[in-house]
C-alpha cells in the first residue's frame, strides 16, 4: 500500500517535471565472519587487560578492558552509527519491508538465503522510492536490516563471538551480561531501555524456537535453529524487573574427546578408561551443577560408541551432535491448545513417551540429555534389559545422584539404582580460570543398600593442588569386564593404557577436530594393534589385550565365576595398511568409512547369582 501511494504521488508530480530514470544499487551487501579463532593475549594482571577483536567485520567489534568505575572487566560492543540521512533511509526501507515480505523469515533456516531474499526486496524499495545511498551507507543500512530482521537484534553480534558461552538479560535498564570462556561473567554496554522493544524481542525468541509465549503462559524454554538453548519470561508479574532471557550458545562443531583433554577437563588416562568401558556397554551418568559442561562431555564421550551401533538420543531441547549414521535424535515437544485436567496438552510428547518408544527400536545405546523425572524409571528398566545408557543429571556427586534416583518424583528401588555402573562428577575449577571445568572424580557403583547408602569405589580423581588426575582404588568395573572376557585384570589395565596412549598421541600431534578423531577411533575398533603400530606406540611395548571388537554382550554379572583363561601369545599382527592422519579436516562424517566388522556392546553371561541387594541382573538382549 505504501509503495502504491508513493507511486501515485510521483506520477502526479511527473506531470510537472520529468521523472529521473530509476536505478537500483549496483553494489551488494556481503556478510562475513571473523577469520579464524582470535588468540587472546595472556595477561595475569586483570587491570592491564585491554584488547579488541572483530565479530562481524567490518561492522561490529568487541573490546574487553578493565573498568575502574565497575571494578571489573567490561565487554564493550561497537557497531556503526547511522547519520540522519542513513537513519531516514533505514526507517523508510524497514517500513516498506514489513509490507513487502511475504514469507516468515524464521522458517528460512539458511541465513544466506534469507539475506538474499531481503536484499532483493530492499533493492526493489530503493529503486521504487528513489532512495539515494552510496556504497558505505548502503552497507551500514543493510547491516542493521540483517541484524534486526534475520539476526537477534541487539545481541546478534554477541552471538558471533566464539568466546561467549551465555548471553543474559535480567530486565529493563540493566546491562546484558555475557559469560566469556576465559574471563567469566562480564557486563556489556548493551541495554534494553525501551520496554516494548524487550517484550517484542522475547516474543521473537519464542517464534524462532517454534514455541508460544504470552501473558497467560509467560515462560519459554526452547532452542533456536542453530541449537542455542533459550529460557525466557515475558510477564512482569513473574519477573518483576521486566522480561528476561538467557541464551546458552550452541557450538557449531561438537567438541571432541581430544579437545576435552586440551581444555584439561580430563586426562588421556581418564578418557582412555571411559573409551574402553563405553565400548564394552557400561551405563553411566554425568552429574554436576549448572553450566559445568555435562552435555559437552556427554557429546564428546559419545564419540567412543562404535560408529556401526544404533544410537537413540532423547532430549528436552536439541543439544547433542553425534557423528553416527545410525543415530535417531528424538526431541520432546509441547502440545497444543488449553491444558487438560492432568496438565497435559493435546499432542504433547514428553521424554517419558520418547524413552518408552525408543527401547522398542532395539537400540544398542540410549542417550538421555537430562534425567529429571519419571523417564528415569524407563531408562533404568532398559539398562536392566541389556541396553547401555548414558545421561546427565543435576547433582553434586554420586551420593546426591543416588538420593535423587530413590526420591520423588523418580523413586527407583535400590536394586534398580545399582544397575548404574559409573558416575562422572564435573565441577568448576575457578582457581584454574573463571570458566574452567574439571572431572572431579569417576566413581564406580558396586551396590546400594535399602537405606540409600551406596558402596562405591573411585576409578579416577582430580587433584586440585597440581591440576592432575590420579587413579583411585576402584577396579570394580574393569574386574567385571575381565571376568566376562576371561582375561586378567592387569590385561584390562594395559588396554586402558594403550587407548590413553592413542588419545595422548592425538593430543600431542594436535589432532583435535572431531572428524579426524572419530576416524582414528573407528580404525582402532577395527584393528587396534595395527593403529598402535602405525602411530609408533607398539615400539613402546603398548599392545591391545582385547584385539578386534567381539560380539556384543551385556554387563550382567556371570552366573558362575570363571577362572581367567591363560592369555596365549598372539602372532605378530600383519603389516598394516598405510594409515594417514589427514592434515586438514575431512569434508563430512558421512564420507568417513564405517567399519565392516559389526559388533555390539559386551553383554554378560554366566556367574553365580549374587545376593539381591548386589545383583545387577540384565537379561541378554534379543538379537
CB 141 within 8 A of CB 82: yes
What pLDDT, on a 0 to 100 scale, did the predictor assign at position 344? 72
pLDDT at 50 over 50: yes
C-alpha cell at 315: 532430549
Total of domains in the chain = 2
- 473-491: b (≥16 Cβ within 10 Å) or e: ebbbbbebbbbbbebbeeb
Q: Are residues 358 and 476 in the same domain?
A: yes
Residue 410 three-state SS:
coil
Please say whether the dihedral angle defined by the alpha carbons of residues 21, 27, 28 and 29, taken in this order, is positive or negative.
Answer: negative
pLDDT at 568 over 70: no
Residue 302 lies in a domain: yes
Picking from 540, 564, 581, the residue at the C-terminal end of a domain is 540
What pLDDT, on a 0 to 100 scale, did the predictor assign at position 428? 87
- Count of helix runs (H) and strand runs (E) in the chain: 16, 18
Closest C-alpha to 35, from 149, 138, 162, 129: 162
| Average pLDDT estimate for 434-442 | 86
- Judged by average pLDDT, the poorest of 354-363, 474-483, 557-566 is 557-566
Question: Phi and psi at residue 444, in whole multiples of 5°?
Answer: -100, 130
- For 5, other C-beta atoms within 10 Å of its C-beta total 9
Q: Are residues 148 and 278 in the same domain?
A: no
Q: Are residues 505 and 357 in the same domain?
A: yes
pLDDT at 600 over 60: no
The whole-angstrom separation of Cα 75 and Cα 183 is 10
Share of the chain above pLDDT 70, in %: 80
Picking from 122, 156, 190, the residue at the C-terminal end of a domain is 156
The whole-angstrom separation of Cα 341 and Cα 343 is 5
The whole-angstrom separation of Cα 245 and Cα 202 is 7
pLDDT per position as a tens digit, 60-99: 999 999 999 988 999 999 999 999 999 999 999 999 998 8
The whole-angstrom separation of Cα 32 and Cα 344 is 45
**What is the DSSP code string of 221-250?**
EEE-TT--EEEEE--TTTSTTS-EEEEE--
The whole-angstrom separation of Cα 268 and Cα 604 is 27
Q: Are residues 394 and 267 in the same domain?
A: yes
Picking from 132, 156, 180, the residue at the C-terminal end of a domain is 156
In this predicted model, which residue has the larger pLDDT, 537 or 8? 537
pLDDT at 152 over 70: yes
CB 228 within 8 A of CB 167: no
C-alpha cell at 90: 533505514
What pLDDT, on a 0 to 100 scale, did the predictor assign at position 543? 85
Question: Phi and psi at residue 258, in whole multiples of 5°?
Answer: -70, -35
What pLDDT, on a 0 to 100 scale, did the predictor assign at position 231? 94
What pLDDT, on a 0 to 100 scale, did the predictor assign at position 544? 86
Q: What is the dihedral of CA 529, 531, 537, 541, to 10 degrees?
A: 0
pLDDT at 555 over 70: no
CB 258 within 8 A of CB 507: yes
Band (pLDDT 50/70/90 cuts) for residue 196 is very high
- Judged by average pLDDT, the poorest of 5-9, 287-291, 605-609 is 605-609
Q: For residue 101, what are the domain limits? A: 1-30+80-156
**What is the DSSP code string of 31-83?**
----SS---PPP-S-GGG-EEEEEEETTTEEEEEEEETTTTEEEEEEE-PPP-
pLDDT at 622 over 60: no
Q: What is the dihedral of CA 538, 539, 540, 545, to 10 degrees?
A: 30
The whole-angstrom separation of Cα 246 and Cα 238 is 15
What pLDDT, on a 0 to 100 scale, did the predictor assign at position 514? 94
Residue 560 lies in a domain: no
The CATH number for 461's domain is 3.40.50.300
Q: Are residues 138 and 273 in the same domain?
A: no
Residue 58 lies in a domain: no
The whole-angstrom separation of Cα 488 and Cα 266 is 26
Sequence-distant (≥ 6) Cβ neighbours of residue 457 within 8 angstroms: 443, 444, 446, 472, 473, 474, 475, 476
pLDDT at 564 over 80: no
The whole-angstrom separation of Cα 555 and Cα 482 is 11
Q: Are residues 331 and 461 in the same domain?
A: yes
| Average pLDDT estimate for 459-485 | 93
What pLDDT, on a 0 to 100 scale, did the predictor assign at position 545? 77
CB 389 within 8 A of CB 368: yes
Segments of 170-273 assigned E as strands: 175-180, 184-191, 219-223, 229-233, 244-248
The whole-angstrom separation of Cα 7 and Cα 70 is 53
pLDDT per position as a tens digit, 503-523: 999 999 999 999 999 999 999
Mean pLDDT for the chain overall = 83
C-alpha cell at 557: 554379572
CB 460 within 8 A of CB 472: yes
Residue 216 lies in a domain: no
| Average pLDDT estimate for 157-165 | 93
Residue 167 three-state SS:
strand
Q: Are residues 149 and 264 in the same domain?
A: no
The whole-angstrom separation of Cα 176 and Cα 460 is 39
In this predicted model, which residue has the larger pLDDT, 606 or 294? 294
Residue 617 lies in a domain: no
The whole-angstrom separation of Cα 489 and Cα 493 is 6
pLDDT per position as a tens digit, 91-144: 999 999 988 887 776 666 678 888 888 999 999 999 888 899 999 999 999 999
Closest C-alpha to 155, from 140, 163, 166: 166
pLDDT per position as a tens digit, 342-367: 667 777 888 999 999 999 899 999 99
Residue 524 lies in a domain: yes
Residue 568 lies in a domain: no
User: Measured in Å, how far apart are the chain's first and last C-alpha atoms?
Assistant: 66
Residue 122 lies in a domain: yes
CB 523 within 8 A of CB 539: no
The whole-angstrom separation of Cα 387 and Cα 366 is 7
**What is the DSSP code string of 324-355?**
-SSEEEEE-B--BSS--TTS--BT-B-HHHHH
| Average pLDDT estimate for 437-446 | 96
pLDDT per position as a tens digit, 224-274: 888 888 999 998 889 999 999 999 988 778 899 999 999 999 999 999 999
Residue 426 three-state SS:
strand
What pLDDT, on a 0 to 100 scale, did the predictor assign at position 602? 43
CB 513 within 8 A of CB 546: no
Closest C-alpha to 600, from 322, 299, 310: 310
Amino acid at each position: 500500500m505504501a509503495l502504491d501511494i508513493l507511486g501515485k504521488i510521483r506520477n502526479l508530480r511527473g506531470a510537472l517535471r520529468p521523472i529521473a530514470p530509476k536505478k537500483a544499487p549496483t553494489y551488494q551487501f556481503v556478510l562475513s565472519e571473523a577469520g579464524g579463532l582470535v588468540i587472546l593475549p595472556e595477561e595475569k594482571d586483570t587491570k592491564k587487560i585491554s584488547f579488541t577483536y572483530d565479530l562481524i567485520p567490518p561492522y561490529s567489534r568487541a573490546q574487553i578492558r578493565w573498568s575502574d568505575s565497575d571494578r571489573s572487566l567490561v565487554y564493550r560492543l561497537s557497531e556503526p552509527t547511522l547519520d540522519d540521512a542513513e537513519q531516514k533511509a533505514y526507517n523508510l526501507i524497514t517500513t516498506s519491508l514489513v509490507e513487502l515480505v511475504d514469507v516468515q523469515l524464521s522458517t528460512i533456516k539458511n541465513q544466506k538465503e534469507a539475506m538474499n531474499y531481503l536484499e532483493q526486496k530492499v533493492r526493489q524499495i530503493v529503486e521504487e522510492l528513489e532512495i539515494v545511498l552510496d556504497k558505505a551507507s548502503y552497507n551500514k543500512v543493510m547491516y542493521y536490516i540483517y541484524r534486526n530482521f534475520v539476526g537477534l537484534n541487539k545481541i546478534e553480534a554477541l552471538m558471533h563471538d566464539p568466546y561467549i558461552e551465555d548471553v543474559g538479560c535480567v530486565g529493563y535498564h540493566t546491562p546484558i551480561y555475557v559469560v566469556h570462556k576465559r574471563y567469566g561473567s562480564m557486563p556489556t554496554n548493551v541495554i534494553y531501555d525501551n520496554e516494548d522493544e524487550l517484550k517484542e524481542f522475547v516474543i521473537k525468541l519464542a517464534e524462532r524456537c517454534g514455541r508460544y509465549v504470552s501473558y497467560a503462559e509467560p515462560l519459554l524454554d526452547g532452542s533456536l535453529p542453530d541449537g542455542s538453548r533459550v529460557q525466557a519470561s515475558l510477564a512482569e508479574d513473574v519477573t518483576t524487573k521486566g522480561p528476561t532471557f538467557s541464551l546458552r550458545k550452541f557450538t557449531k562443531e561438537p567438541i571432541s574427546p581430544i579437545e576435552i583433554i586440551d581444555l584439561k577437563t580430563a586426562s588421556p588416562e581418564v578418557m582412555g578408561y571411559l573409551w574402553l568401558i563405553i565400548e564394552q556397554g557400561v551405563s553411566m551418568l554425568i552429574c554436576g551443577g549448572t553450566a559445568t559442561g555435562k552435555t559437552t562431555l556427554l557429546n564428546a564421550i559419545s564419540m567412543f560408541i562404535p560408529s556401526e551401533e544404533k544410537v537413540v538420543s532423547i532430549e528436552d531441547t536439541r543439544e547433542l551432535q553425534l557423528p553416527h549414521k545410525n543415530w535417531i535424535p528424538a526431541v520432546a515437544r509441547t502440545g497444543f491448545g488449553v491444558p487438560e485436567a492432568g496438565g497435559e496438552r493435546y499432542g504433547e510428547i514428553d521424554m517419558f513417551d520418547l524413552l518408552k518408544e525408543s527401547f522398542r527400536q532395539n537400540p544398542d545405546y540410549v542417550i538421555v540429555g537430562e534425567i529429571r523425572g519419571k523417564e528415569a524409571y524407563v531408562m533404568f528398566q532398559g539398562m536392566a534389559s541389556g541396553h547401555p545408557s548414558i545421561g546427565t543429571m543435576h547433582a553434586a556427586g554420586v551420593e546426591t545422584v543416588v538420593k535423587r534416583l530413590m526420591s520423588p518424583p523418580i523413586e527407583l528401588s535400590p536394586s534398580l539404582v545399582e544397575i548404574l555402573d559409573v558416575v562422572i562428577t564435573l565441577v568448576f575449577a575457578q582457581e584454574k580460570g573463571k570458566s574452567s571445568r574439571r572431572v572431579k572424580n569417576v566413581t564406580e557403583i558396586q551396590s546400594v543398600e535399602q537405606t540409600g547408602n551406596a558402596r562405591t569405589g573411585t576409578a579416577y580423581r582430580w587433584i586440585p593442588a597440581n591440576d592432575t588426575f590420579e587413579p583411585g582404588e576402584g577396579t570394580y568395573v574393569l574386574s567385571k569386564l575381565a571376568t566376562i572376557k576371561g582375561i586378567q585384570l592387569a590385561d584390562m589395565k594395559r588396554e586402558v593404557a594403550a587407548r590413553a596412549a592413542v588419545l595422548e598421541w592425538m593430543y600431542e600431534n594436535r589432532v583435535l577436530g572431531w572428524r579426524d578423531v572419530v576416524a582414528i577411533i573407528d580404525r582402532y575398533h577395527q584393528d587396534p594393534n595395527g593403529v598402535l603400530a602405525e602411530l609408533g606406540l607398539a615400539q613402546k611395548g603398548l599392545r591391545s589385550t582385547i584385539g578386534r571388537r567381539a560380539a556384543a554382550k551385556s554387563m550382567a554379572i556371570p552366573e558362575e565365576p570363571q577362572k581367567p583363561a591363560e592369555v596365549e601369545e598372539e602372532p605378530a599382527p600383519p603389516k598394516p595398511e598405510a594409515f594417514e592422519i589427514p592434515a586438514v579436516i575431512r569434508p563430512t562424517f558421512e564420507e568417513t568409512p564405517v567399519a565392516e566388522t559389526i559388533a555390539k556392546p559386551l553383554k554378560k553371561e554366566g556367574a553365580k547369582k549374587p545376593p539381591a541387594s548386589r545383583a545387577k541382573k540384565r537379561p541378554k538382549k534379543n538379537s
